[in-house]
C-alpha cells in the first residue's frame, strides 16, 4: 500500500525553481532512495515532507492523511515523521538513552521507554545507554540518531545523506546495519543521497531527481541496466557510449553485433555498454574479439579500470576487470562484449521508453 503520495509538488526559492511538478509514490515498509546531484533539491524535498518548508503547489499525503495541499499545511510535530540528518545532531549533554527518548512524552522519557529494544534494533550494546554520544564513533552516533527517529514509531523515516561524514569502511558497515534496522522495524523510509552506490545498495526502489523533476523510478537493477537516458546511464555508473546502428534486436557497433535488452527504434543510435561487460584477453581466442591498446590503468583495489584505444577505429573505451588481472599500460589486448546492451535512438531525444512491467521481467530473466 502507498504510504507516501506526492503529487505535482513545486518549490522555488526567490523565483528560482528547485522542484517542479514532482510526483512520487512510496510503498509502505519500503526504502525509497532518492538519488540526485548536489544542489538538485534533495534536502528541500525532505524539508517539504517534514513541514519545515511550504510548497508553492502540489499535495503530500502520508499514511493516508493529507499533510500539505493548497491552503493546508500540517505543522511538523503532527506529521509523525522521523528525521536522521547528515551528522547525527545528537544532544551532547544528554546520554544515549536520553537522546533516544527525547521526542517522547514525559512519562515514557523517564522510563527510558523501549531504549534497550531500540539499541538492539540498531545493533548497539545495551551498555551504551548511559554513555555520552561523544564517546561513540560516527557510525554509532548515526545509529543512535536512527533509534531516536524510530522511537517515535513514525509513519515515515527521512534520512538525509546519513553516511556522508563516515569514512569508507565505517560507511559500508553502517549502511548495512541501518538497512537491516529499517527492515526489522518495518519502517517506510526515504533516503536521499548523491552517491549512486549508496542508492543502489540501500533502496528497494531508486528515484532519480534531475533538474527538479523525477527522471526515473525503478528497482536498483533496472535503473542500472536500463537507464532512461544517456545522462542517467552516466550518472548511475560508468558507461561506454558508442556510435551504432540498431538492426532488429541488435546494435551493430565497432565492438560487434550486440543483443539489445529492450526493443529499440531501428536506425542510428548510441549504444551503452557497462565497463564490466567488456572483457580482455592476450590472444584472439574469443570469437569476434577485436584489438586494442591499453592506455592507462586505474587500480581500485578489488578491481581496476582499464582505459583502452581500439586499434581499428581509434575510439576510447573503458573496461572494468579483476584488480589482479589488469594488464600493463602499452599492452596490446583483444576485447569483446558480453551480455545485453541498451541503445538510445539519435532522433527525438533518444529516450528509451521505460515502462514498469517489461522492466521487471527483464530483471527477473537476468
Closer residue to Mg ion, CB minimum distance, 18 or 129 = 18
Minimal distance, residue 192 CB to ligand ADP, in Å: 7
Other Cβ atoms closer than 10 A to 301: 6
Minimal distance, residue 44 CB to ligand ADP, in Å: 3
- End-to-end CA distance of the chain: give it in Å, rounded: 27
Residue 148 binding ligand ADP, by CB under 6 A: no
Place of cell 518495518: 186
Minimal distance, residue 164 CB to ligand ADP, in Å: 11
Residue 34 binding ligand ADP, by CB under 6 A: no
DSSP 6-18: EEEEEEEETTEEE
Dist CA 349 CA 228 (whole Å): 11
Closer residue to ligand ADP, CB minimum distance, 209 or 359 = 209
Dist CA 25 CA 51 (whole Å): 18
Choice from 4, 26, 32, 40 touching ligand ADP (CB under 6 A): 40
Closer residue to ligand ADP, CB minimum distance, 13 or 299 = 13
Contact 36, 208 (CB under 8 A): yes
Dist CA 91 CA 256 (whole Å): 60
The region of 31-39, 240-248, 255-263, 346-354 touching ligand ADP under the rule CB under 6 A is: 31-39
The region of 36-44, 119-127, 243-251, 277-285 touching ligand ADP under the rule CB under 6 A is: 36-44
Dist CA 206 CA 50 (whole Å): 20
Reading the block at residue 244, the C-alpha cell is 551504432
Residues binding Mg ion: number (CB under 5 A): 2
Residues in the chain: 366
Residue 99 binding Mg ion, by CB under 5 A: no
Closer residue to ligand ADP, CB minimum distance, 36 or 82 = 36
Choice from 4, 9, 36, 264 touching ligand ADP (CB under 6 A): 36
Alpha carbon 160 to chain centroid distance?
12
Angle at which helix 168-184 crosses helix 138-151, to 10 degrees, equals 20
Pick left, alpha or beta for residue 142 (phi over 0 → left; psi -120 to 50 → alpha; otherwise beta).
alpha
Minimal distance, residue 224 CB to ligand ADP, in Å: 21
* Element at 126 (helix H, strand E): none
The region of 39-47, 124-132, 256-264, 318-326 touching ligand ADP under the rule CB under 6 A is: 39-47
Q: Which of 184, 88, 98 is nearest to 140 (CA)?
A: 88
The region of 37-45, 60-68, 251-259, 340-348 touching ligand ADP under the rule CB under 6 A is: 37-45
Dist CA 36 CA 194 (whole Å): 5
Dist CA 359 CA 72 (whole Å): 37
Minimal distance, residue 195 CB to ligand ADP, in Å: 12
In the region spanning residues 26 to 45, those forming contacts with Mg ion, defined by CB under 5 A, are 42-43
Residue 193 binding ligand ADP, by CB under 6 A: no
Minimal distance, residue 160 CB to Mg ion, in Å: 6
Choice from 9, 33, 42, 151 touching ligand ADP (CB under 6 A): 42
Closer residue to ligand ADP, CB minimum distance, 52 or 91 = 52
Which positions lie near Mg ion, rule CB under 5 A? Answer: 42-43
Which positions lie near ligand ADP, rule CB under 6 A? Answer: 13, 18, 36, 38-44
Amino acid at each position: 500500500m502507498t504510504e507516501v503520495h506526492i503529487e505535482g509538488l513545486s518549490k522555488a526559492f526567490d523565483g528560482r525553481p528547485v522542484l517542479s511538478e514532482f510526483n512520487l509514490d512510496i510503498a509502505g515498509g519500503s526504502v525509497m532512495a532518492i538519488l540526485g546531484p548536489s544542489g538538485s533539491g534533495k534536502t528541500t524535498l525532505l524539508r517539504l515532507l517534514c513541514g519545515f518548508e511550504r510548497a508553492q503547489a502540489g499535495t503530500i499525503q502520508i499514511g493516508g492523511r493529507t499533510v500539505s495541499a493548497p491552503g493546508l499545511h500540517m505543522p511538523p510535530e503532527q506529521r509523525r515523521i522521523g528525521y536522521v540528518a547528515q551528522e547525527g545532531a545528537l544532544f551532547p549533554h544528554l546520554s544515549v538513552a536520553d537522546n533516544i527518548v527525547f521526542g517522547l512524552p514525559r512519562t515514557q522519557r523517564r522510563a527510558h521507554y523501549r531504549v534497550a529494544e531500540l539499541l538492539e534494533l540498531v545493533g548497539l550494546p545495551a551498555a551504551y545507554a548511559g554513555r555520552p554520544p561523544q564517546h561513540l564513533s560516527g557510525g554509532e552516533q548515526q545509529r543512535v540518531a536512527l533509534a531516536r527517529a524510530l522511537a517515535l514509531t513514525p509513519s515515515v523515516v527521512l534520512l538525509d545523506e546519513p553516511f556522508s561524514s563516515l569514512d569508507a569502511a565505517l560507511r559500508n558497515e553502517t549502511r548495512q546495519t541501518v538497512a537491516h534496522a529499517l527492515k526489522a522495524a518495518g519502517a517506510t523510509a526515504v533516503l536521499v543521497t548523491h552517491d549512486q552506490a549508496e542508492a543502489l545498495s540501500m533502496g528497494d526502489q531508486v528515484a532519480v531527481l534531475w533538474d527538479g523533476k523525477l527522471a526515473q523510478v525503478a528497482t536498483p537493477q533496472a535503473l542500472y541496466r536500463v537507464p532512461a537516458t544517456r545522462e542517467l546511464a552516466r550518472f548511475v555508473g560508468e558507461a561506454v557510449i558508442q556510435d551504432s546502428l540498431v538492426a532488429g534486436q541488435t546494435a551493430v557497433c565497432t565492438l560487434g553485433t550486440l543483443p539489445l535488452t529492450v526493443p529499440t527504434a531501428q536506425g542510428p543510435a548510441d549504444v551503452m555498454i557497462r565497463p564490466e561487460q567488456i572483457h580482455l584477453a592476450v590472444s584472439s581466442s574469443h570469437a569476434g574479439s577485436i584489438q586494442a591498446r591499453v592506455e592507462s590503468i586505474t587500480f581500485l583495489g578489488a578491481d581496476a579500470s582499464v582505459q583502452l584505444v581500439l586499434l581499428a577505429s581509434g575510439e576510447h573505451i573503458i573496461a572494468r576487470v579483476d584488480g589482479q588481472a589488469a594488464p600493463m599500460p602499452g599492452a596490446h589486448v583483444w576485447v569483446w562484449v558480453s551480455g545485453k546492451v541498451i541503445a538510445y535512438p539519435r532522433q527525438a531525444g533518444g529516450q528509451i521508453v521505460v515502462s514498469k512491467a517489461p522492466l521487471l521481467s527483464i530483471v527477473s530473466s537476468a
